[in-house]
Structure 1
Amino acid sequence: MIEQTTDNDIVTLTLNHGKANAADIEMLTALSQTFAELSEARAVILTSSGSIFSAGVDLARLVKGGRAYAAEFGPLLDRVIREMFAFPAPLITAVNGHAIAGGCMFAVAGDYRIMARGKGRIGAPELMVSVPFPMAPLELMRFAMPRQHLQKHLYSGETLLADDAVSKGLIDEACEADQLMERAQRMAAKLGGIDRKNFRLTKAMLRDESLQRMHDAAERFNPEVFARWAEQDTLDGIQRYMDKLAGG
């Protein structure tokens, strides 16, 4: 599900979960455990196998699981996104293909975000899928994307190719696919070479305001958000979205 290798004290995590690395309860649980175990790493690279970084939430599983599954999955997703965002060591995301919705959140949680040019697209079309944003993913997008692009991006559900994602501030660097891991390793070595205590303190200060909002605003908004996730009309809307993608 998550393959792990280490080279020069730099850990590479490779998502390998089904055809599209779609997030379900098992994958999120594994991510949470893995990042907790790597908190003292020099640096971490997150990438994936295949041609898709992550297609986001496993929508078929969400619909099949119904209200009970949605009620468990939503809060878990919010918590894991928050944990990735707060991860103290340098995190480089090497986006090798589509990074959609939850997959976009995994990508932009990094301290440096690199995306391969090609057919892969990145974006947060949650509203098009009929689900509202939990607080942690919304705050993550607010942190990652410049204000002048954020609202349009979230409301339109647009997805971006690598160079467009750089111009909109969602990605830091675009490169050719065969250079992706080399660039990720080079940046991991660079950030991992910064004094550990100084890097972690600086990262904590940079992200503190967003983390505070993730926590404080979650108490106000997340109960309603997750109630919506579990309502039948939301699940019906997700099914319509999947039918549309399938040409049904």
Structure 2
Amino acid sequence: MGVTVDFQNDGCAILTMRNGQNRWNLTTLKQFNDALDEVEKNESARILVTTGEGKFYSNGIDVDWRKIQRQEIIAKFNIVLWDTMWRVMHFPLPTVAAINGHCFAGGAFLAMCHDYRVMRSDRGWISWNEMLISIRIRGPSYEILQRKLSREALRESVIFAKRITGPEAVKLKIVDKIELETNLISRSKQIGFEALGKNVIKRDDLQIMKKDMIPRKFDVSKL
């Protein structure tokens, strides 16, 4: 089972990616979006926490899959990928990425699209390694980084492609908190519920506010 959703009694929906390194291809993107559909259909869900299974939160694009695809499939993949990222960015619930392990490239982009991020304090790196494999970051990918990373974080984790640990990620404000693995989900849930506070926030209003405050401008279909 590639992606599962656990609806808990307190209103938290926990989405868990279970595809090994959780790399992105059309199949895994569909699984992820199907899971998001489940969450949106469940009216009792109040917050969304996403996480991975094992050593990886996500290791980015499935490059082995991508390099054997026809150009029209790659074009479709690019559209679905960035539509998925922005779907998370504008999701109608508070979203928290519980970064359980390594979080590279496309996986790091996904984490940054959440409202909040909690990373393991004792293991795992977050990094954009495009520099190391001669890939330029432009258009839709740069748009997300520009909105979410400080200049210092952009310099360290993207321009110089450093592998950032949890404690370093907090200092660079890439993530909000760090926690031991045993407390990762509970801390992520706490942050999500604290975001709501005692306010009665309607889903539609939250989504509209996110779209207004973090508008999407780049049209992937024109790539």
Normalization by structure 1: what TM-score? 0.78
Q: Distance in 1 between matches of 2:139 and 2:36?
A: 20
The RMSD of aligned alpha carbons is 2.4
The 8 Å contact of residues 89 and 210 in structure 2, kept in 1 or not, is answered as: no
- After superposition, the Cα gap between the structure-2 partners of 1:118 and 1:195, relative to the gap in structure 1 and judged at 3 Å, is same
The 8 Å contact of residues 5 and 12 in structure 1, kept in 2 or not, is answered as: yes
Q: Distance in 2 between matches of 1:154 and 1:208?
A: 27
Partner residue of 1:16? Answer: 18
**Equivalent residues, number:** 218
> As a proportion of its length, which structure holds more helix?
1
Q: 1:169, CA displacement in angstroms?
A: 1.2
Q: 1:81, CA displacement in angstroms?
A: 0.6
Normalization by structure 2: what TM-score? 0.86
For the pair 1:82 / 2:86, whether they are aligned, the reply is yes
The 8 Å contact of residues 11 and 44 in structure 1, kept in 2 or not, is answered as: yes
Partner residue of 1:130? Answer: 134
Q: Secondary structure at the match of 2:123?
A: coil
What letter corresponds to residue 87 of structure 1 in structure 2? F
Partner residue of 1:223? Answer: 222
Q: 1:102, CA displacement in angstroms?
A: 0.8
Q: Distance in 1 between matches of 2:78 and 2:34?
A: 17
Partner residue of 1:42? Answer: 46
The 8 Å contact of residues 6 and 15 in structure 2, kept in 1 or not, is answered as: yes
Q: Distance in 1 between matches of 2:140 and 2:86?
A: 6
Instruction: Note the residue ranges of structure 1 that are not aligned, 5 or more in a row.
Output: 225-248
What letter corresponds to residue 201 of structure 2 in structure 1? K
Q: 1:112, CA displacement in angstroms?
A: 1.5
Deviations 1:124-162 (A, max 9, x none): 222433333354432222222113432453222222111
Instruction: Note the residue ranges of structure 2 that are not aligned, 5 or more in a row.
Output: none
Partner residue of 1:112? Answer: 116
What letter corresponds to residue 27 of structure 2 in structure 1? E
What letter corresponds to residue 99 of structure 1 in structure 2? C
Deviations 1:98-125 (A, max 9, x none): 0101110121222111000233100222
What letter corresponds to residue 30 of structure 1 in structure 2? Q
Percent identical among aligned pairs is 21
What letter corresponds to residue 223 of structure 1 in structure 2? K
> After the TM superposition, which residues 184-203 of structure 1 pair with which residues of structure 2 at under 5 Å, given as runs?
184-197=188-201, 201=205
Partner residue of 2:97? Answer: 93
